[in-house]
Amino acid sequence: MRRFAKSFTQQEAIGDDAIASAVAVLQSGRLHRYNLAEGEAGETALLESEFAASLGVDYALACASGGYALQLALRACGLAAGDKVLCNAFTLSPVPGSIVAAGGEAVLVDILDDTTVDSDDLDRAARESGARFFVLSHMRGHIGDMDAIVAVCKSHGIVLIEDCAHTMGAAYRGRPSGTFGKVGCFSTQTYKHINSGEGGLLATSDADVMRRAVILSGSYMLYDHHLAAPAPESFAETRLLTPNMSGRMDNLRAAILRPQLAELERRKARWNVLYERMEKRLADFPNVQRIARPVEEDFVGSSIQFRLPGVAGDVISRFVEGCEARGIPLKWYGKPVPEDYTSRYDSWGYLANTRSLPAADRVLATLCDLRLPLTFDQADCDDIVALMSAAMDEAVQHPQPLSDRTFGSS
């Protein structure tokens, strides 16, 4: 059996300029963001300033992870213990995890066929729960109808916090992802659009939120070392009323990220070439339903999703196994048990969800997902689809019953 030769988890090497910046930090010994020489701004503060400018917002804060950025955002926006927080039914586990970690109770919202949030169900969930917060996850880089979503939030007085782990560099109607709500949260984990291994960024134009976030992140009384933050004198009260929940980014990671941030638009163009090639090839793939992209969305195609709505669960399972045997780690959200980074809302046993989510059940039962690393080229895309086609042919022609019940079946 022929196998795909390249790794889906192999990222591009860190560039020479980023390596040189990191070496300079290592040679200085000043890795901690507040351990600075006289007159030195520091890599972390410079990253924050550059990131805020890239989004057109007033403030940005670098922290330990994207999930930690979400926790900071919820706390800085006033979440109290036990408060209900609306959240997509289709997202990754760090999103509901951040809600629980911040003391909230997640209330799941159903999705549309394109995997984005159903604004009508958002309205119902808001009325049913009385939630004051909505963590909107732009899951796998798909941006929903932001006009409708923002309108629902405004009508209920809901604080909108965007999880932009998969949409750094993306936009809706020309407006950057992460600027529609009170706070936008981003990830710089290895598989995101800029790579520091782990890391996160919080962006906002709300001075009160930013002051609380800076102190929460662990600034001690060194808030005056921030460039993309409110004036130091404005912290007089906040610094005494806000706890330190240390989760800062360090200068080493910031040094690696700054050159990558400058490359983001070029990376986006390269990802979208791969995405368009995969989408074109998948158009000829039997039984595949591609995920619609609205014209208002300016996306970053770092992964691709498709559905197999006319294919039985046991056939999809054999198809996925055939892809894996050919070196293609296709993720299927209908798989009965979570694996790797992929899980479904029904596996988050710590949530007390009682809402019916029929669309999520139906869509996720046949939804497949594949990374598109920049170490691939267009010929690789052709090869991947050819191997996937062979796996599907094999799955259809050689039926084999499964003992596991698939998601969405009765």
Structure-token pair, residue 136: 């909107």
Q: What is the pLDDT of residue 287?
A: 87
Residue 72 near residue 202 (C-beta atoms within 8 A): yes
Ordered by start, the domain boundaries in the chain are 16-262, 264-397
Check whether 108 has a pLDDT greater than 50. Answer: yes
What share of the chain in percent tops pLDDT 90? 92
402: confidence class by pLDDT, cuts 50, 70, 90:
very low
Distance CA 369, CA 270 (A): 19
Q: Name the CATH architecture for the domain at 264-397.
A: Alpha-Beta Complex (3.90)
Strand partners, 185: 163, 202
| Residues 214-230: tens digit of each pLDDT | 999 999 999 999 999 99
Structure confidence at residue 353 (pLDDT): 77
Q: Is the pLDDT of residue 406 over 50?
A: no
Reported as a pLDDT band with limits 50, 70 and 90, residue 399 is low
- Tens digits of residue pLDDT in 260-272: 999 999 999 999 9
Residues 169-222 have pLDDT tens digits of: 999 999 999 999 999 999 999 999 999 999 999 999 999 999 999 999 999 999
Maximum alpha-carbon separation in the chain:
71
Average pLDDT over residues 13-28: 97
At residue 403 the predicted structure's pLDDT band, cuts being 50, 70 and 90, is: very low
Alpha-carbon torsion (156, 162, 167, 173), positive or negative: positive
On the question of pLDDT at 380 being above 90, the answer is yes
Q: What is the pLDDT of residues 288-331, one digit of tens each?
A: 999 999 999 999 999 999 999 999 999 999 999 999 999 999 99
Angstrom distance (rounded) from CA 191 to CA 329: 15
Assign a CATH topology to domain 16-262. Answer: Aspartate Aminotransferase; domain 2 (3.40.640)
Distances (CA, A) of 320 to 75, 101, 326, 368: 40, 34, 10, 9
